[in-house]
Amino acid sequence: MLTGDLGTVEDAARWRDTGTPADTDRCGGIDLSADTDRIGDSRSTSFSGLAEYSEFRADDRERTLVCADQAPPFDADEPDSAVYVEEPGEVIAALPAMIGFPPERSLVVLVLRSTPARGDGAIIDAVVRFDLDQDGGRRRLRAGMVAQCILQICAHDDVAEVLAIVVDDRAVEPSARRSELGERCGSGRFEVLIDALDRRLAAQDILLAGAWAVCAIEPEQSWWSLVGPDRRGALPDPATSAVALSHVLDGRQIRASRAELTALVEVDVELRDQVAAVLDSALSIARDRYARAVRRGDPSDYSRHALDYVLWQIANTESGVELMVPELAELAASLRDRAVRDAMFALAVGDHAVAAEGMWAALTRALTGRDRAEAAALLGYSAYVRGDGPLAGIALEAALDADPDHPMATLLEASLMIGMRPDQLRRLARTGYDTAADLGVDLTSALP
């Protein structure tokens, strides 16, 4: 299942082209310069897992939306493994589990894919969230923006139909629209949006099969239809929905809000300054180690020991040890070796992915510039591969904010844009295993 959190269009699809209108969402050798320093092996094999899937040019900056992607929580080819939901209330209550947090003031679109093996049934193939208020509340979400993203997804799949759900505390049930609150909020705003979306999708032969509204995704909240026959009901408890239970059993986290995601990559100013104060020393030590390895005629020995150090710290993180400032600096220096960085992609599909993500997040909060971008890109890749589209998008946004030209973050974000599925990105993890093996490290059993 594809999931994406577009948030504000500007936040989710932020090309650094200042000419783009605001409403168009959208190392061998040593260089001593602080921003470009790469220590160790200059191999960069990371792109081999992406290149054949993504034709992308750095000047392709006219896009308007990025659709995040999530792996199917169940095997789509095995009907017995699926969780079935039929009533609109059940679908709405399952949204926090589908996107990872309860949406607020959002439009959530579900793309359904037909499955011949299931007769008349269909599976939820993609879930994408949009902020209803754009540009800090100065503009409203437009149907054209939503349709463009949905069409992007539908171009790759056998789409049966789509569903739309408005979640907004300002929404007013039809029977109450003459109240003072209804007049102030603008009666019919959401019907207008849904009607426009319906027409745009219909023009591309995509059926909007249902649309509903709810003020909040909470137990007993009333929901009602926005198109078709008048239907109403009360939400079941989202925490006890079949989809939520399945996600919890699969080890997926349902967060209280989107803010919890952004906090994972938010810069810790005090820690950042402390790490910056010792980073030059850590880099100097790393250069000396690399120089000694070169003099011994075995430059890969530096990369091998740097990789061992990163793996050791991931094991420490897994056991609950908090990384200290000097360790964060040494990790940043180690990840400047491309072979070490490339090998780290393998951890996203291994048993220690959660611990690795925790360390990438810690480094993202503690570093600046390209070092922050490297850590955030690793976090974004790991989240992407395990199906956490919202976290992947937020991490890649942090990476490109720190380094707008970061090649891996750019390619991964482009993959989100075209709806590339996580299983297609697993080749990058395979490359990581191969890179580590070239250094004499077996990542299938490398962690203590």
**Partners of 6 in the beta sheet?**
none
According to DSSP, the β-strands at 232-234 and 222-225 are antiparallel
Given its phi and psi angles, is residue 137 left (phi above 0), alpha (psi -120 to 50 degrees) or beta? left
CB of 224 within 8 A of CB of 238?
no
Q: Can you give the pLDDT of all 448 residues of the chain as single tens digits?
A: 555 555 533 333 333 333 333 332 222 222 223 333 445 543 333 333 333 323 222 233 333 333 333 333 333 344 444 556 668 999 999 999 888 899 999 999 998 887 666 555 677 877 889 999 987 778 899 999 899 888 877 776 666 689 999 999 999 888 754 444 444 344 488 999 999 999 999 999 999 999 999 999 999 999 999 988 889 999 999 887 777 666 655 656 778 888 888 999 999 999 999 999 999 999 999 999 999 999 999 999 999 999 999 999 999 999 999 999 999 999 999 999 999 999 999 999 998 999 999 999 999 999 999 999 999 999 999 999 988 888 999 999 999 999 999 999 999 998 877 677 788 899 999 999 999 999 999 998 655 5
Per this entry, what is the length of the chain?
A: 448
Q: How far is CA 394 from CA 98, 221, 346, 374, 421, in A?
A: 17, 30, 21, 14, 17
According to DSSP, the β-strands at 122-131 and 2-7 are parallel
- Which amino acid is it at 89? G
* CB-based contacts of 119, cutoff 8 Å, min separation 6: none
14 closest CA partner among 50, 56, 60, 63 = 63
Q: Show me where the domains of the chain are located.
A: 2-63+261-438, 79-251
CB of 345 within 8 A of CB of 431?
yes
Identify the H or E element spanning 327.
Answer: helix 325-335
**pTM to 2 decimal places:** 0.74
CATH class of 79-251: alpha beta
Residue 383's Cβ-side half-sphere holds a number of Cα atoms within 13 Å equal to 34
According to DSSP, the β-strands at 133-134 and 106-114 are unpaired
* CB-based contacts of 344, cutoff 8 Å, min separation 6: 310, 335, 356, 378, 432
Q: How far is CA 186 from CA 339, 351, 398, in A?
A: 57, 51, 36
CB of 224 within 8 A of CB of 173?
yes
CB of 306 within 8 A of CB of 10?
no
CA distance 232 to 223: 6
Query: Tell me, what's the pLDDT at 74?
Result: 32
CA dihedral in degrees (157, 385, 262, 339; nearest 10)?
Answer: -130
Identify the H or E element spanning 162.
Answer: strand 159-167
Query: Tell me, what's the pLDDT at 250?
Result: 61
State the distance between the two ends of the chain, measured CA to CA, in whole angstroms: 34
**Partners of 223 in the beta sheet?**
214, 233
CA distance 87 to 236: 11
* CB-based contacts of 330, cutoff 8 Å, min separation 6: 282, 285, 286, 309
Identify the H or E element spanning 214.
Answer: strand 208-214
CB of 5 within 8 A of CB of 96?
no
In the numeric block, the tokens 């319906």 are attached to: 198
